[in-house]
């Protein structure tokens, strides 16, 4: 994560003007080390040189650099000679991305104009002194992480720097679609860059920030500050926590709030939360004024690896889960893995059900990786979490790109969900991930009984789910087969009254739309039920 941008270079290179432009785009403060020196002593830099000498100024500059380096995130403009002290470079490099704005002497002189003669180090012979200083400092400037041509227009240079910051802050998985795709941005600390991400992908008239109360207290204010810092103070809309917010009634309440605030069709809705907030936000963004810009900021593992990607959004109906929905793709998905650190243990483990689903149904290499790295995932190692989300997002993006509207191949992602949704609907004790884990166990057992899947693969899946802390046996008092089958018949994956499941042929390879006799499902449910 880039915590600061540090601009170095000669006087006249554009450090201040470019720095302020970058700061405005990122929503970060701009800090000038020369200004910090002046604030400390109450005297202009020229006066300090004249009255106390260059040595005294360099000592004050070193203190200013230390103070600037501590102010992060920030864009830091430095004096031309700051690179002469190795301690300055070390302090700045620890916190920031060092960028040398390079310009030839004639450009520097032209920009400085008559004021060049007033600078202590250029007095008497500005052209000659400038060239000499540039020769003396060039090798130190070249130690920067990046060198940019400072003679270009300010906006052009500023946009390139913002792009570099965003590029280095996160991994990017691209979702390619016929109508234009979008990036999934994955990294640590991305909430502080939310405003820049939104500005880079859209030019909304205003922003609606949708979340619930607990998330507002934990992350919402930080997200709102990042948006406000780039000139997009959001309209805050909060909804109840949990599945009760995923309803037509809740969607109508959000729409009422937006309409009362005169939100127009050029607005953007930022959905900050897990699967419920993401589904509700996607649904509202898809139907409000026939569609407004959507930005997903998923804060749970389940949402980061699955529900925030792909454009599917739905609310529940009393008779079935996700019965009323739309396809509405986001402009960008911003997955800050630091939001997973405080996630309740049960929620983290529930998200792993979707991870295991990807490995079992789509990508055997991912299953291998999860088996090897599961302890680090459960320990919430941020780097490993970012790697995990990136790998899963790549699988999801590949599947979505092949079938945006779930007309065929994308239905592979429903593995575990036909049975899982029925369990979730009828047994309020289960989280979505726990229900999907049980659904995968039942559907793997169906696959085995049909002769599609080897018993070793069924056992491997069960072992991995158990290591992730997920259930592999239906509770003895779980809803009976008749109730589950009745609910499954309402599932949108059924067709012409036939029960169709996604089944496995081997680890990493699934088959879709398999018509399965209800009697066989009953047998599998019985086999996966814990004894009383």
Q: Which residues are catalytic?
A: 290, 312, 354, 396, 406, 410, 414, 417, 421, 432
Is residue 67 packed enough to be buried (19+ CB in 10 Å), middle (13-18) or exposed (0-12)? middle
DSSP H or E segment with residue 75: strand 74-77
**Cβ neighbours of residue 18 closer than 8 Å, sequence gap 6 or more:** 7, 101, 150, 154, 157, 158, 161
Q: What is the DSSP letter of 144?
A: S
Query: Could you tell me if 357 and 415 are in contact, meaning their C-beta atoms sit under 8 angstroms apart?
Result: yes
For residues 232-265, one letter each, b for 16 or more C-beta atoms within 10 angstroms of the residue's C-beta and e for the rest, the string is bebbbbbbebebebbbeebbebbbebbeeeebee
131 in helix, strand or coil? Answer: helix
Tokens of 22: 């970058």
Residues paired with residue 175 on neighbouring β-strands, in sequence order: 182
Helical pair 33-41 and 54-70, crossing angle rounded to 10 deg: 110
Separation between Cα atoms, residue 176 and residue 398, nearest integer Å: 8
**Cβ neighbours of residue 138 closer than 8 Å, sequence gap 6 or more:** none
173 φ/ψ angles, rounded to the nearest 5 degrees: -110, 125
Query: Could you tell me if 349 and 343 are in contact, meaning their C-beta atoms sit under 8 angstroms apart?
Result: no
3-state class percentages of the chain: helix first, strand second, coil last, to nearest 5: 55, 20, 25
Helical pair 194-201 and 221-228, crossing angle rounded to 10 deg: 50
Is residue 442 packed enough to be buried (19+ CB in 10 Å), middle (13-18) or exposed (0-12)? buried
State the pairing for strand pair 268-273/207-212. Answer: parallel
Tokens of 8: 């170095």
State the pairing for strand pair 312-317/320-327. Answer: antiparallel
Alpha helices, H only, 327-381: 345-361, 364-378
Tokens of 464: 């991995």
Angle formed at CA 413 by CA 408 and CA 419, multiple of 5 degrees: 105
Cα-Cα end-to-end distance for the chain: 51
Q: State yes or no: cis peptide before 73, omega within 30 of 0.
A: yes
Please give the torsion angle defined by the CA atoms of residues 213, 218, 219 and 224, in that order, rounded to the nearest 10 degrees: 60
Q: Tokens 């139907």 sit at which residue?
A: 287
Cα–Cα nearest to 175, from 335, 349, 378: 335
């Amino acid at each position: 994560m880039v915590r600061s941008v540090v601009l170095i270079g000669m006087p006249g290179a554009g450090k201040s003007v470019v720095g302020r432009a970058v700061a405005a785009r990122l929503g970060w403060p701009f800090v000038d080390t020369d200004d910090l020196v002046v604030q400390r002593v109450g005297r202009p830099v020229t006066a300090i040189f004249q009255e106390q000498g260059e040595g005294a100024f360099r000592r004050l500059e070193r203190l200013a650099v230390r103070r600037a380096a501590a102010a992060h995130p920030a864009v830091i403009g430095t004096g031309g000679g700051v690179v002469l002290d190795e301690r300055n470079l070390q302090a700045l490099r620890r916190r920031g991305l060092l960028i040398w704005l390079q310009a030839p002497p004639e450009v520097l002189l032209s920009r400085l104009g008559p004021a060049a003669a007033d600078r202590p180090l250029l007095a008497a012979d500005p052209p000659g002194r400038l060239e000499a200083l540039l020769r003396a400092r060039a090798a130190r400037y070249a130690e920067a992480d990046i060198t940019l041509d400072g003679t270009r227009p300010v906006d052009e240079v500023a946009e390139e720097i913002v792009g570099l910051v965003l590029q280095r802050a996160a991994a990017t998985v691209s979702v390619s679609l016929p109508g234009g795709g979008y990036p999934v941005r994955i990294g640590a600390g991305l909430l502080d860059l939310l405003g820049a991400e939104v500005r880079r992908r859209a030019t909304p008239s205003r922003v609606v920030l949708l979340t619930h109360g607990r998330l507002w207290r934990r992350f919402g204010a930080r997200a709102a500050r990042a948006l406000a810092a780039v000139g997009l103070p959001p309209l805050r809309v909060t909804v109840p926590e949990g599945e009760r917010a995923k309803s037509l009634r809740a969607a109508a309440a959000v729409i009422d709030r937006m309409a009362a605030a005169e939100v127009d069709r050029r607005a953007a809705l930022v959905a900050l939360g897990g699967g419920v907030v993401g589904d509700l936000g996607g649904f509202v963004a898809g139907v409000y004024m026939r569609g407004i810009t959507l930005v997903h900021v998923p804060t749970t593992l389940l949402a980061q690896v699955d529900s925030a990607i792909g454009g599917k959004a739905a609310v529940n109906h009393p008779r079935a889960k996700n019965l009323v929905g739309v396809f509405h793709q986001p402009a960008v998905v911003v997955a800050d893995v630091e939001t997973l650190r405080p996630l309740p243990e049960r929620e983290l483990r529930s998200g792993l059900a979707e991870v295991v689903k990807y490995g079992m149904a789509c990508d055997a290499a991912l299953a291998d990786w999860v088996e090897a790295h599961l302890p680090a995932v459960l320990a919430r190692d941020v780097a490993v979490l970012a790697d995990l989300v990136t790998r899963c997002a790549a699988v999801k993006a590949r599947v979505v790109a092949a079938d945006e509207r779930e007309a065929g191949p994308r239905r592979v992602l429903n593995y575990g969900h036909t049975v899982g949704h029925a369990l979730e609907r009828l047994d309020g004790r289960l989280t979505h991930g726990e229900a999907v884990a049980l659904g995968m166990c039942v559907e793997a057992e169906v696959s085995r009984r049909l002769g599609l899947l080897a018993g070793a693969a069924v056992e491997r899946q069960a072992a991995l789910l158990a290591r992730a802390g997920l259930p592999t046996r239906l509770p003895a008092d779980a809803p009976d087969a008749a109730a589950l089958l009745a609910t499954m018949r309402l599932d949108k994956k059924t067709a012409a009254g036939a029960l169709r499941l996604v089944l496995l042929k081997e680890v990493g390879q699934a088959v879709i739309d398999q018509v399965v006799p209800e009697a066989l499902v009953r047998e599998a449910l019985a086999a996966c039920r814990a004894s009383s």
